[in-house]
Amino acid sequence: MADFPNLSRRGFLSRSAAVGGLLVVPGALAACSKTDSGASTGSGALDKLRKQGFVRVAYANEAPYGYTEGGKLKGEAPALHQQIFKALGVDTLKPTLSDFDGLIPGLQAGKYDVVSAGMAITPERCANALFSEPEFISPTAMMVKKGNPKNVTDLPSAKRAGITIGVMAGAVESSYAEGAGIDSGKIKTLQKPQDGADAVKSGRIDAFLLTGISLRWLAKTNPETEVTKAFVPELKGKPQYSPGGAVFQKGNEDLRDAFNRELKKIVTDKSRYVELLTPYGFGATEIPPATLKTADLCKG
């Protein structure tokens, strides 16, 4: 972990783009060992998913990470996960919409099998769920009014300017703002990305803090705004590169490990990764380095 110390983040958003083949097909669950809510658990989780023919994935309707459009599940995570589960013998992703801060609780309650939302890998979350190896990395940025009237470029400049920062509920960006010394009274929590854009446009906040890729996507439909150049925030002097991954129930290590084997085939194939994710604004710069490991991220 010498190259990427203490990486963490949350990040995400909702709008449109297209990668084909992401089908939403309801189906009956096959008889197998499950939690009361229906999630397959234990050493045979992958076999159970193969038998039922679909995997229940949770998303937060945040493009370009995971969202629905025209009845189809799209985004960075579903695009990767569709390819991975197909290779594992499970052809269909069956989506469940959740608020972002309800994703892991819903997973623990057995409402779905996998979180497909580009969730940040953090020690706190690792204590409650299993994460895949990183699917991407993404630095942070700020959405501001067109023309950037406060002339902010990063969190230290935001602190000097005394501006009000918006962050999403359950997001790690709040810790970035606090770590930069911004007063808690200047940090406002919002529920959805569009809420952040609306708050910027109305002047209720001066800047909305999220990943650069998310904000650039959001700015497409909010032309009164602009996005600062992406930057790498720090916590206690350590850079935060914002890696995200798939999330599984504890006890489903076999499913997580099988997923990781197929994920590795994609992230080590630059052309395939870029081809799959370019429609969502991801490119070669978002490919996680081989040195970046979830086991290290979970340690903090």
User: Do 265 and 225 share a structural domain?
Assistant: no
| Residue burial 40-76, b: 16+ Cβ < 10 Å; e: rest | bbbebbbebbbebbbbbbbbbbbbbbbbbbeebbbbb
- Asked if residue 279 and residue 130 are part of one domain, the reply reads yes
How many other C-beta atoms lie within 10 A of the C-beta of residue 101? 14
Please indicate, yes or no, whether residues 88 and 145 belong to a single structural domain of this protein.
no
Q: Which helix (H) or strand (E) segment is 76 a member of?
A: helix 76-87
DSSP structure class, residue 150 = T
> Are 276 and 128 members of one domain?
yes
> How, if at all, do strands 136-137 and 130-131 pair?
unpaired
**Same domain flag for 71 and 93:** yes
Instruction: Kindly state whether residues 73 and 116 are assigned to the same domain.
Output: yes
- The verdict on 144 and 131 lying in the same domain is no
Q: Which residues does the chain have with pLDDT short of 50?
A: 1-38, 40-42
* pLDDT of res. 171: 85
Same-domain pairing of 76 and 112: yes
Same domain, 93 and 81: yes
Last residue of one domain, picked from the residues 239, 261, 280? 239
Output the pLDDT for position 43.
52
User: In terms of residue numbers, what domain contains 164?
Assistant: 140-239
State the pTM of this model: 0.68
Per the structure, the count of domains in the chain is 2
Asked if residue 8 is part of any domain, the answer here is: no
Cis? peptide before 64, omega within 30° of 0: yes
Domain end, chosen from 239, 259, 274, is at 239
The angle that helices 253-267 and 45-52 make with each other, rounded to 10 degrees, is: 80
User: Both 81 and 224 in a single domain?
Assistant: no
281, 150: one domain: no
User: Residue 65's domain is classified under what CATH number?
Assistant: 3.40.190.10
What is the per-residue burial (b if ≥16 Cβ within 10 Å, else e) of 168-204? bebbbbbbbbbbbebeeeebbebebbbbbbbbbbeee
